[in-house]
Structure 1
Amino acid sequence: MTGSNPYDLVTGRKRFVAGLALASVNLMVVLDMTIANVSVPHIAGNLGISPSQGTWVITSYAVAEAICVPLTGWLAQRFGSVRVFILSILGFGLFSVLCGLSTTLGMLVACRIGQGLSGGPLIPLTQTLLMRIFPPEKRASAMGLWAITTLVGPALGPILGGWISDNWSWHWIFFINVPVILFSAGVTYSLLRGVETPTEKLPIDRIGLGLMVLWISALQIMLDIGREHDWFADTTVLSLGLFAAVVFVVFVIWELTEEHPIVDLRVFRHRGFTINALTLSLGFGTYFAGIVVIPQWMQLSLGFTATWAGVATAFTGMAGVLVGRFAPMLITKIDGRIVLSGALVWAGAATLLRSNWTSGADFWTLALPQLIMGFGMPFFFVTATSLSLSAVPPKELASAAGLQNFLRIMAIAVSTSIVMTYWNDQARVSGSDLAGKLNPDTPGGMVGGFSIEQSRVLMAQLVDREALTVATDKVFLLAGLLMWVIAAFVWFAPKPKRPAGPMTGGH
């Protein structure tokens, strides 16, 4: 469709239904980033793997999505936004079903990679198509609907994932995508074919794409298997690390000299973009540490169900929905760096509230820091996104948005691997220290009424629970302090030259 006003072709009730379908897809893909987090203990138990291996379900999805995001612009221009959108929906649905049918970790991770590759283009394309079918005077409302689904997804994911895992089985966290897929694919095909975007044959940086896939895959495999193989003491892990480093250097050199790069690294010459994009990725990666650790600790050590672990985690998203609309208004009135730095200080303080948790903590002691954190997150996320994208000229906006999203999604995958490694290592160290102070072989080491063997079992359980609690506290102590360091890093960015109003292009 090459007409100047494609929104005239989809009007009234049809536009409402199409907008609902696009928003539903956005909600589904965002929700799938967090719905599996609280289900990791269920998945690990069912497949006979460790909880740390279970996090591969999270990292594989994020890495695949990160690889595919930079390709979205090229795919849309080459084949058309509507056509790519429909094929991506169907691919996402197919791999969702296969994830639910998985019987081994290998099959589940492979299908999650397929989900990520299919889901990568969906969120940017929902924005593109919403802007295309709504007239200028209604686009702000359309983006508001999109933003709401983006905020609700992380809140709904843990609750829904926990409830499904407790009452049905973890397989259904993937099967529930199917009705949304069928509805959205049908609506898009029947209503939006007429507003297809123009297509043209464009060159693609095949070598750059290949190099990117190689170094990202090697890095993530190294991070995932490193904690199981004593890191660089293992030849395979060391080889993967060296390979990732070498290929990354080659990738950077190639992309800086390629006429049509798959990732336009030249955008980093804008200091405002570089500082704010790094702030977004580092801050989001640190924030995501809590989303990964809290549900597992609550279930493994405190005996909460996946449902209640999900509810506690979801308070951040719930609070974010309440205050999300104020962030765009605030950053148009005062220096965005003040808002962004203040949001990170707030988030750091909320994170430090978690650093003195005990194994006897009740539900509200665990949920309150999440609620407090949520009131600051929209001011962090919206401001960092807006400041970074407002620092580049319009002609580079698409490249900047793609690179920003790539960094943020990679931060999720990398931080998940690093945090799980640190958490497990600290749990082992704390467990050894605690065990050294207990001796059930002595009369004083016996638990009243139990034999020495029974006492050993009880003490081992106690040590494991307390060791994980100490490790959890250490994770959040470091995360909170890191948030404050990132808050100071914000001030290396130049003062915004123009108001950083709410900008689309975020994934």
Structure 2
Amino acid sequence: MIRLVRRWSALRPAPIPLEPLQGRALVAVAIAISTANFMQTLDLTIANVAVPTIAGDLGVSPDMGTWMLTSFATPLAITLPLTGWLAQRFGQVRLFCVSVALFIAMSMLCGLAPTFGSLIVFRALQGAASGPLTALSQALLVAVFPSSRRNVALAVWQTTTFIAPVLGPIAGGWITDNIAWPWIFYINAPTGAAVLVILMRTLSGRDNPTRKLPVDTVGLVLLALAFGSLQLMLDRGQNLDWFASTSIQVLAALCVVSLVALVLWELTELHPIVDLKLFGQLNFSAGTIAVTVGFGVYYAALVLVPLWLQTQQGYTATWAGIATAPLGIAGIVIAPLIGRIQHRVDPRWFASLALLGWGAASLWRMSFDTDVPLADIAANSLLMGAATAFFITPLVSLSLAGLPRERLPAASGLQNALRRIGTSVATSLAPTYFERRARVHSTYLVERLSPLDRAFVDWYERLRHAGLSADAALASMSKSVDVQAHMLALDDFSQGCAVLFAATLAAVWLARYRRAS
């Protein structure tokens, strides 16, 4: 990517400074940038449901097929914090356009991949191109919107960020079932081409000032080792029983050592690849901690509830998607409204409202039982989605306020990288916690079942009178115990979510708010 951007930069004259836009040009650029962010965010989840089909078509096991997800997420986690350095070296607009072009090309090659190995390579390059798209979409929207309307820009960005992960599995499943899996990659081509055309026509010749910066090779290697080993550990941990596996222990040790070395090196490097000095800003630190923890816990619930519905409640993938779809619908409606009024209200109050809403939804979920109706699940999802609309935009606005414009890409890239890591950690640990708590509850429930217990005997006799054999009756009872154990495990998970949301609320109020900013 660096060579492509350098070659493009050499062919173009010195850019005009990037200034806020007005009228149709502003609308067109906002739509293009938001679409690019939506496109790459969608690719994080759209391929998940297609893994078994892709693995079968390319002749590998489903377990090997998950490497397609890892190969995308790992380069993405590495290039996100690199965005600040790349933007200073080559320019925000140029880097964004090259990333879009590279993303389109790699998407087409993923669809055309003849072997699983080639798919992994193209998917990794697609993930690398996604990093700058995530961070720069946020920074460019802030740059092109007038200061009085920047909250609207961040609300637009938030809407695309939240909706895409919800729609991804639904769109991926439909395309795989009704067309063919390569089209989950091909659909990026026309969308990306339209984005490029709009940006080249409206932002041609405009960009931020650039400067030649030396490459922090040591920092780059340490960054790749730290984030790469962490992502591999999270992706493979559940299949390998976490720290019972030697390979997971090695990855964890490599991650810790590399991360400590990265922090020590970057704090003393004159031109660091990751600007860790941003954490010297109280608002940035508090906002980033809140975004990382709060959004990670929210995302864990987003993953675990559909999993519970499908594995324990008998829902199909389609009906599980319908039950949780209000998560996205609420965000579409509310987020733009928040952007319009946010400048009048202390953003900490909005973020607090989001965390209280998430906490209330978690406590409500604790009252569910195995007969919970679909309407209650959908209403709970609606509350989660409505609360989500109040979260990211205020915190991003608060954490970036007061930073010079040239530091926005670095701040946005670092914050988004940590947010991605938070979601990866949460979504990897949540299913493991869920299953282990279910085993604990199952043990306690089984201990209470005894031939001396009248309720147990009555239950067994009812099943026998219903026509089940002795073995079938016991199997049915075992299944019921397992379902109840998972229900109790979901209660434990929801309680933990409520506690973590409360802790995040405390972090939000560590930030300082000045209306003038």
Q: So what's the TM-score if we normalise by structure 2?
A: 0.80
State whether structure 2 residue 396 is matched by structure 1 residue 385.
Answer: yes
One-letter amino acid of the counterpart of residue 477, structure 1: Q
1:75 aligned onto 2:86? yes
Structure 2 counterpart of 1:499: 515
Superposition deviation, residue 258 in structure 1: 0.3
Aligned residues, how many?
496
Equivalent residues in 2 for 1:210-249 (5 A)? 210-249=221-260
Distance in 2 between residues matched to 1:447 and 1:24, nearest whole Å: 60
Verify: 1:253 aligned to 2:271, yes or no. Answer: no
2:492 aligned with 1:474: yes
2:354 pairs with 1:343:
yes
Q: 1:354 to 1:325 in 2, by over 3 A?
A: same
1:307: which partner in 2? 318
Q: How does 1:45-444 map to 2 (within 5 A)?
A: 49=62, 61-97=72-108, 112-126=123-137, 146=157, 148-164=159-175, 167-168=178-179, 172-185=183-196, 188=199, 193-195=204-206, 199-328=210-339, 331-390=342-401, 392=403, 396-434=407-445, 437=449, 444=461
Matched residue SS, 2:325: helix
**Which residue number corresponds to residue 508 of structure 2?**
490
Cα distance, 1:478 vs structure 2 = 1.1
**CA displacement 1:298-345 (0-9 Å, x = unmatched):** 223333332332233231221122222343455533443333223212
Question: In the alignment, what sits opposite 2:10?
Answer: none
Q: Is the 8 A contact 2:73 2:231 kept in 1?
A: no
Distance 2:121 2:490 in 1: 30
Q: Tell me the secondary structure at the aligned position of residue 488 of structure 1.
A: helix
What amino acid does structure 2 have at the position aligned with 1:417?
S
> Taking structure 1 as reference, are residues 461 and 97 closer, same or farther at Cα in structure 2, changes over 3 Å only?
farther
Distance 1:29 1:215 in 2: 23
- Tell me, in whole angstroms, the C-alpha distance in 2 between the residues paired with 1:383 and 1:136: 15
Deviates more, 1:104-113 or 1:480-489: 104-113
Structure 1 residue 266 displacement after superposition: 1.5
Q: Distance in 1 between matches of 2:464 and 2:112?
A: 47
> Where does structure 1 lack aligned partners over 5 or more consecutive residues?
502-507
Compared CA separation, residues 144 and 418, structure 1 to 2 (3 A): closer
1:188: Cα distance to partner?
4.8
Q: Where does residue 6 of structure 2 map in the other structure?
A: none
Aligned to 1:504: none
Relative distance call for 1:273 and 1:79 in structure 2 (3 A) is: closer
TM-score by length of 1: 0.82
Query: CA shift at 1:402, angstroms?
Result: 2.5
Measured in 1, the distance between the counterparts of 2:267 and 2:94 equals: 31
Shift of 1:409: 1.4
Residues 48 and 135 (structure 1 numbering): CA distance in 2 closer, same or farther, change over 3 Å? Answer: same
CA distance in 1, matches of 2:275, 2:359: 32
- 1:253 is paired with a residue whose SS is helix
Distance 1:366-1:172 versus aligned 2 partners, 3 A rule: farther
Structure 2 CA distance for aligned equivalents of residues 161 and 450 of structure 1:
41
Note closer, same or farther for the CA distance 1:397–1:129 as it changes in structure 2 (3 Å cut). Answer: closer
Matched residue type, 2:507: F
What is the letter of the counterpart of residue 500 of structure 2? Answer: L
Q: Counterpart of 1:379 in 2: which secondary structure?
A: coil
**1:451 aligns with one of 460, 469, 475:** 469
SS in 1 for 2:515: coil
Offset of residue 285 of structure 1: 0.3
